[in-house]
């Protein structure tokens, strides 16, 4: 694939909407199901992923000419692991409460398929700035997905947003259960599919 021809804005929008990691590509589902019970958790993990994605994209795009093609995957993994260690230690020092809630998931960012995939597909073929904006788009897309899930689950499960009472009652306590993550992701994916189907139908009707 030759270097991208998209503008920076298109790269960001592409990551957030068209190739959203959670709802469209269905990669990195573990945290989306596991800890999206509140918006705060979603925000924290989203920021961590955004950080790792942007910095490893930049690192790889800078050193891509020196990596032998046969050892590129281990190199990506090590670069990601380094940045994850950075964010892991930082969060443990600065936000110990939230860090404890997220548990092992921060460390597991290493194994998120989305980050390795973006390095393989995009960062190793493009220069610094497009890679940076692609990283922002993909990380932002993940953040957006986590926030949406957290919004739905916290609102329906606890009647709260960011820990503040919004509704004053609990509409569906079921959504506060950890298990509800599966259902929530399933329903939201179906909703996005529905929107896409309706959108395509209208487009066809207009073109005709």
Which positions lie near another protein, rule CB under 8 A? 26-30, 33-34, 73-74, 77-78, 81-82, 84-85, 88-89, 104, 107-108, 110-113, 116, 178-183, 185-187, 189-191, 193-194, 197
Give whichever of 12 and 146 is closer to another protein, judged by the CB atom.
Answer: 146
Question: Quick one: the chain helix, strand, coil %, rounded to 5?
Answer: 75, 0, 20
Least CB distance to another protein at residue 81 (A): 4
Least CB distance to another protein at residue 94 (A): 16
Phi, psi of 172 (to 5 degrees): -140, 95
Least CB distance to another protein at residue 43 (A): 19
Give whichever of 158 and 180 is closer to another protein, judged by the CB atom.
Answer: 180
Give whichever of 30 and 167 is closer to another protein, judged by the CB atom.
Answer: 30
Least CB distance to another protein at residue 188 (A): 8
Give the integer Cα–Cα distance in Å for 179 and 122: 34
Give whichever of 136 and 149 is closer to another protein, judged by the CB atom.
Answer: 149
Task: Identify the DSSP state of 81.
Answer: H
CA distances from 89 to 13, 86, 108, 134 (A): 31, 5, 14, 25
DSSP letters, 7-36, are: -HHHHHHIIIIIT-TTTTS--SHHHHHHST
């Amino acid at each position: 694939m030759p270097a991208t021809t998209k503008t920076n804005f298109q790269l960001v929008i592409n990551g957030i909407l068209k190739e959203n990691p959670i709802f469209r590509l269905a990669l990195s589902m573990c945290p989306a199901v596991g800890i999206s019970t509140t918006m705060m958790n979603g925000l924290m993990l989203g920021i961590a992923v955004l950080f790792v994605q942007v910095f490893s994209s930049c690192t790889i795009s800078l050193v891509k000419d020196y990596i032998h093609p046969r050892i590129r995957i281990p190199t990506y993994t090590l670069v990601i692991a380094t940045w994850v260690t950075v964010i892991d230690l930082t969060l443990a020092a600065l936000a110990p409460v939230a860090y404890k809630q997220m548990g092992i998931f921060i460390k597991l960012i290493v194994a998120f398929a989305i980050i390795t995939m973006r390095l393989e597909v995009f960062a190793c073929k493009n220069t610094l700035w497009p890679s940076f904006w692609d990283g922002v788009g993909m990380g932002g897309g993940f953040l957006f997905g986590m926030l949406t899930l957290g919004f739905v689950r916290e609102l329906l499960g606890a009647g709260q947003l960011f820990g503040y009472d919004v509704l004053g009652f609990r509409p569906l306590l079921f959504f506060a259960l950890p298990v509800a993550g599966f259902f929530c992701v399933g329903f939201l994916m179906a909703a996005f599919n529905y929107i896409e189907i309706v959108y395509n139908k209208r487009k066809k009707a207009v073109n005709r």
